[in-house]
Structure 1
Amino acid sequence: MTQPSDAETDAWAVLDTAGRHVGLDPAGAKLLRLGENALYRLPGGIVARVSRAGQLAAAAREVAVARWLDANHVPAVRAWPGVDQPIDVDGRAVTWWRELPPHRHGTALMVATALRRLHQLPPPTEFDIGRLDPFVRLAERIDRAATLAEADRAWMRTHLAELEARYAELPSGLPETVVHGDAWIGNVVSTEDGQVVLLDLERCSVGRPEWDLASTAVKAFTLAGITAEDYSTFVRTYGHDVTSWAGFETLRDIREFRMTCMAAQVAAENPARHDEVMLRLACLRGEHGPRPWTWTPVP
């Protein structure tokens, strides 16, 4: 029998403490995913989400965003009612959610549909949704990339500074809106009754809608994860092609760098992923030919 990893053991201990605090018994909970967050399915249609340390404010905003979207009739993951959220366990946030009904993975069309609806909403007035930060946690992930040589981390820090400078000089574009912050096909699903549901709301904020649109363009043209026809459907449905905007390459490069920093974080905990990090770095440095590139998802 495979022994649980240290990260899984730690996440379970946090879940157990939080569950006892709010009266939700985690006995019988099943680990669904262990990545940026640990997701557990509990009996009774509850999903618990255990964050990494330092994400309490982001978790509180995510719960507030979920309730705001529900009040505005925008289909999204729904916070479990009647429970104080988030629960702080030694700096790690635990939140509780309604399990989704049967659903299927998202498509480019679904992402466009969900983003059109989200981007049309006026920002909430009952809480501070915050402003988009495309560079959140990147410096921390570089510092903790234990499998990388110092020369590689130094290159990443320099590249991060260059991207920050380019972002500060972005040309004007679409009017600012509420943005999802991590809008790709993995964060959208369709339920059996045809609703398109947004997932992972922790980066929702006010910012450039192009940031959300760039994710699907990266999926199409950096990773060849969807077809050109799929991307054309996305553009027609949303009504704007972000690749025609002068600032697109900057957002694309930031997105690619975020994906690389995430892989570096995962490799620090699972060194078997180190080769994937080195591949991504080689691509960003221009050492692996033109896009599209073949990147393996992590974790």
Structure 2
Amino acid sequence: MTLAREAETATKSILRAACQQAGIDLRGAELIRFGENALYRLPGGIIARVSRAGQVAAAAREVRVARWLESHKVPAVQALPGVEQPAEIDGRAVTWWRELPPHRHGTALEVAAALRLLHDLPPPTTFDVGRLDPFVRLAERIDRAATLTEPDRAWMRKHLAGLRARWASLPGGLPESVVHGDAWIGNVVATDDGRVVLLDLERCSVGPPEWDLVSTAVKAFTLAGITEEDYRQFVGSYGHDVTQWDGFEILRDIREFRMACMAAQVAGENPVRHPEVEHRLACLRGQRGARPWTWTAVP
């Protein structure tokens, strides 16, 4: 049994215990995605989300953020009402959500509109949404990435330390706001019933809104995943071009490094993904030429 299969089996066991605890029907549960979190489709239009270990506090905050956004009529994934959330099983969090209607990834224009709506909200007063930590879990991912060589691991640790130092000297920019925290195009979707919906709220916090904007810039100029015209429309809709800010390269480099660390985590569970880790690290080291680079998505 592969590490990935073992992890899926353990996750299903955790989900079963949580559903029994909450009185939610597990029969016919279907695994939708197994990545940073495991997502299952349950009967009755319910989506269950099983976190990795140590993320109970983040899951609890995500539920509170979702309910706060719903109260402000900001379209976002909705936590299932009438259920105490999250359930904690063996140090892992299980949360339940309303299933969305059929949907697609948002366009750059739709992401801009969703972020503008979020960033214009005053921070919540009934709970502590926390402060943005752009380095959350990176050291852990490096330590646990089983396919990394020790020289690669040492380079990543040194690079992480350098990024932390640069973040500490981040220049001033837009007024701080509530930020999504992981605002790439896949975390904003357009539904068939005409809504543009924010997903994956676990990194919502207070911080520089440029952190959310840099994800679309990276999509355009690091990965060539959208066109320059798409990016111009994004800027026009939101009203700010993060690439013209003095702190852009700091945030861009952190975001790119987060993507490399995520690939390393995935490869630790599924070693067939390791060549992608090597490729991303070579790009960051300047061994694959100038941006844009071609990076293959990992689950």
**TM-score category of the 2 structures, normalised to the smaller one:** over 0.9
Instruction: Quote the offset at 1:101 in angstroms.
Output: 1.4
CA offset digits 1:108-142 (Å, max 9, x no partner): 01100000000000000000000000000000000
**Alpha-carbon distance, 1:174 to partner:** 0.3
The letter for the 1-side match of 2:53 is A
Moved over 2 A (4+): none
Alignment-derived partner of residue 65 in structure 2: 65
Aligned runs of 1:69-218 on 2, under 5 Å?
Answer: 69-218=69-218
* 1:204-224 superposed Cα distances (whole Å, 9 cap, x missing partner): 000000000000000000000
Q: Alignment partner of 2:41: what SS?
A: strand
Task: State how 1:21-40 maps to structure 2 within 5 Å.
Answer: 21-40=21-40
Question: Which position in structure 2 is the counterpart of 1:42?
Answer: 42
Number of residues paired by the alignment?
Answer: 298
Which residues of structure 1 form unaligned runs of 5+? none
Amino acid across the alignment from 1:60? A
Equivalent position of 1:274 in the other structure: 274
145-154 or 207-216, which deviates more: 145-154
Following the alignment from structure 1 to structure 2, what is the Cα–Cα distance between the partners of residues 192 and 38?
Answer: 24
Q: What SS does the corresponding residue of 1:127 show, helix, strand or coil?
A: coil
User: Counterpart of 1:75 in 2: which secondary structure?
Assistant: coil
Residue 104 of structure 1 and its aligned partner are, at CA, apart by 2.0
Can you give the 5+ residue segments of structure 2 that lack an aligned partner in the other structure? none
TM-score, structure 1 normalization? 0.98
Per the alignment, residue 55 of structure 2 pairs with: 55
The answer for the alignment partner of 1:291 in structure 2 is: 291
Displacement after TM superposition at 1:190 (Å): 1.0
Instruction: Output one character per residue of 1:70-125: Cα deviation in whole Å (capped at 9) or x when no partner.
Output: 00000000000100000000000000000001222211011000000000000000
Partner of 2:9: 9
| In structure 2, distance between residues paired with 1:15 and 1:245 | 44
Deviation of the 1:195 alpha carbon: 1.3
- Counterparts of 1:232-247 in structure 2 under 5 Å? 232-247=232-247
Equivalent residues of 2:110, 2:196 under 8 A apart: yes
Matched residue of 1:53: which SS? coil
Amino acid corresponding to residue 273 of structure 1 in structure 2: R
TM-score with structure 2 setting the length: 0.98
SS state at 1:84 partner: coil
Q: Secondary structure at the match of 2:51?
A: strand
Amino acid aligned to 2:156: M
The code of the aligned residue for 1:91 comes to G
Q: How far did residue 193 of structure 1 move?
A: 2.7
CA distance in 1, matches of 2:74, 2:96: 19
Letter in 2 for 1:94: V
Contact conserved, 2:181 with 2:211, CA < 8 A, in 1? yes
Q: Report the AA paired with residue 275 of structure 2.
A: D
2-side partners of 1:137 and 1:40: how far apart?
A: 24
